[in-house]
Chains A and B, each alone.
Chain A
Amino acid sequence: MRAVPEFPILPTVRYLLVQAGEDLCVLPLPRVRRIVRNLPVTPLPGTSPELKGLAEFGGEPLPVLDLARLVGAAPGAAPPHPLTVLSWAGAEGAGELVGLAVDAVIEVVELAAEAVVAAGDGIVQGEATLGERPVRVIALSALGGPPAGARAAAGRPG
């Protein structure tokens, strides 16, 4: 009897597939804290368009960023259910919880590491193909402000 060949198990990373404008983006699932609907956001005067404003989650201030503007995606139609993906931004273990406003949250997907074509050091880490759809792989580590020390008490880095 022939032995069943062993195929190497390729390492995959789980991502959260979201719709940002007209682009599909994947957020590394370990960095995703929560998906929240209809999060009230208070705009801050004089900010850039990427910063939608401030919100509150779990008693903590939460900056909310527009993912579509962050990645430079063309704006889509107004989402029927605006969602905010609470994610850890910044360096691992030292990031801050930010809200990423997206048009839709689709599903959890797995991507092989080799499937990601690196795109640079910016917030768009690379691009991959999911099914026949191109997706942008977001590097939340590139997002965030100056390191601020301890995380908020409500969450832990993923």
Chain B
Amino acid sequence: MATIDRPTTERVDAARVGAGVVLGLALAGLLLLLAANARGGPIWPFGLYLVVAMAGLALYLGLAHRDHRRRTAELADARAERRGIDAALLAVLDELRAGDLVASKARAKDLPPALQDAFTNAADAINGLAQQIQTSSIEVAAAANSVNQIASELASGSSEQAASVVEITAAMEELARTAAQIADNAGSQAELTARAEASGNAGSEAVDEAVQGVEEVKKRISGIATRADTLGTRSKEIYRVLDLITDIAQETHILSLNAAIEAAAAGDHGRRFSVVAEEVRRLAQRSQESVESVRNLLDEFTGSIRATVVATEEGSKEAARVLERARAAASAIDELRSASGDTARVAREISLATQQQNAASDEVVLTLKEVSQVVQRMADSLKQFSSTADQLNELGLAIQLVAQSFHLDSPHSLKREVGRWAGEVRRRLGSWEAIESLLHEVLGDSGYMELAYVIDAGGTQLAIAINPPVAGTDQIPAPLRTGEGLTDRPWYRGVMREGRTIITPVYESLLSGEPCFTVAAPIKEDAGRIVGVLGLDINVDSWTKI
């Protein structure tokens, strides 16, 4: 095939440049001639030059024109060829636009070999890429599903974790409140024990003073007892004197009586002596009575002394007992002070420890709150992640659907498979039972199709089959069963318009209520006329899990 290539263009350009150069030379000669003429010098060199230049120019132009005519003819041939190639290329690109790589490869046979090879390579590359995309989209969908599951589990786990953190936070706050209360109680206890300690100190001082006082009292009692002993000793001496006086009085009494006896024995001569004797007896009696009085007084006095001595002894004993008790009390107070000191120290330590615990609990609570916030943020992030996973899932599905928009020579290509089944349906046209049987077979083999149906070119439903495990029901809704309004369905109109297999966007299934899409393929006779449409409703969830 003639081609208009770059060298031709370069030749034309070179011819223009050459002509220009020659013309320029001629003009230069002309100018020189004129200049020489003006100078009045010889002009015949310049004229010769001009003639030669003009001849050369004429020759060049003649040669260029001949070449130009030849080139123009070749250009016309090339244009005609190009128009043919463009038509073929448009056809190929049209198929390619429709994503039908199989048809586009078939159309590419009309292209020049190089172009055909190039397109075939490109188509193969696109095929491979599309298949890779399909495969990757399946993996992406699967991964997105896994991610979604993981995200859901993580979200669930983080929610539980957040709930646990809330519980722990509440428990820690309760612990913190308890610790604060303990700290307060310990503080109060510390104050009480400090006051007890101070009271103990005061008590100890008071006891010491009391002990000193009792010892002083004891000394004084001892002094009193000593003086009482002295008085008792003096009293004994007085008693001895009284006894002596009593003895003397008694002797005098007896003497007087004896004198009276002698006087009586003396008869009248002893009468005066008996009087004297009587006086002496009375004197003795008075002495005795005085002694008795003194003795009574002394008895009272000694009684008092004895009572005083007894009282002082008892007082001394009591003072000793009080002193002992005071010393015991002082010892007990010392022990109490020591115990109070220990208690105060322990209380202070408890107070400090609980305050530290309180601070630590507050820090823990703060940390838990931060953890809770982090967990909550993580839960929110996981929700977002889950949302992102959903988006990824949707993206994966979208990519899959995009990948499925290509008609590839691959068993994973829905368009290829549906087109193949459409061919099978065509062979069974005229027998709706056979078509229906084929539809059940197709549904049974797939595991992801909800519904399969065949409509003729006039929009009449020829056959319909339902896949209960995927559809979730075995009841075909009335509109679907009767096939009303099928000609208005976008998949029908798309197929009838494009004449090729189409895939609808995702919609909600009337059967399962889940997302699904329809793959519809034309049923063509040999001449290429569309005689019907095969429709397959595919459940997205089941399809992405295969």
Contact = CB atoms under 8 A, between A and B. Distances in A.
A and B touching (Cβ–Cβ under 8 A)? yes
Interface of A: 14, 16, 29-30, 32-37, 81, 83, 105, 107-108, 156, 158
Given A37-B251, A37-B254, A81-B250, 7 more contacts: A14-B264, A29-B261, A30-B265, A35-B258, A36-B254, A108-B274, A108-B278
Interface in B242-272: 247, 250-251, 253-254, 257-258, 260-261, 264-265
A97 to B, nearest CB: 13
A29 B264 contact: yes
A107 B257 contact: yes
Contacts of B253: 105
B250 A35 contact: no
Interface of A (DSSP majority class) = strand
Across the A-B interface, the 10 shortest Cβ-Cβ residue pairs:
A35-B254, A108-B260, A29-B264, A81-B250, A32-B261, A35-B257, A35-B258, A158-B265, A34-B258, A105-B257
Interface of B: 247, 250-251, 253-254, 257-258, 260-261, 264-265, 274, 278, 281
26 contacts: A16-B257, A16-B261, A29-B260, A30-B265, A34-B258, A34-B261, A35-B254, A35-B257, A35-B258, A35-B261, A81-B247, A83-B254, A105-B253, A105-B254, A105-B257, A107-B257, A107-B281, A108-B257, A108-B260, A108-B261, A108-B264, A108-B274, A108-B278, A108-B281, A158-B264, A158-B265
Contacts of A16: 257, 261
A33 B261 CA distance: 7
Contacts of A158: 264-265
Contacts of A34: 258, 261
Nearest to A36: B254
A33 B274 CA distance: 15
Nearest to A105: B257
A34 B257 CA distance: 8
A30 to B, nearest CB: 7
A36 to B, nearest CB: 8
Contacts of A32: 261
A34 B259 CA distance: 9
Nearest to A33: B261
Contacts of A30: 264-265
Nearest to A155: B265
Nearest to B282: A107
Nearest to B260: A108
A35 B258 CA distance: 6
A35 to B, nearest CB: 5
A37 B250 contact: yes
Q: Which of A14, A16, A35 has the most CB of B within 10 A?
A: A35
A135 to B, nearest CB: 16
A154 B224 CA distance: 59
Nearest to A14: B264
Contacts of A156: 265
B88 to A, nearest CB: 175
A14 B258 CA distance: 14
Contacts of A81: 247, 250
A9 B358 CA distance: 125
Contacts of B258: 34-35
A158 B265 CA distance: 7
A141 B226 CA distance: 60
A32 B262 CA distance: 9
A23 B475 CA distance: 151
A74 B274 CA distance: 33
A7 B274 CA distance: 25
B291 to A, nearest CB: 12
Contacts of A108: 257, 260-261, 264, 274, 278, 281
Contacts of A33: 261
A14 B260 CA distance: 10
A64 B258 CA distance: 18
Contacts of A35: 254, 257-258, 261
A32 B250 CA distance: 18
B119 to A, nearest CB: 167
Nearest to B265: A158
Nearest to A18: B257
A81 B252 CA distance: 13
B22 to A, nearest CB: 198
B79 to A, nearest CB: 185
A158 B254 CA distance: 19
A156 B261 CA distance: 13
A133 B274 CA distance: 24
A107 B258 CA distance: 10
A16 B258 CA distance: 10
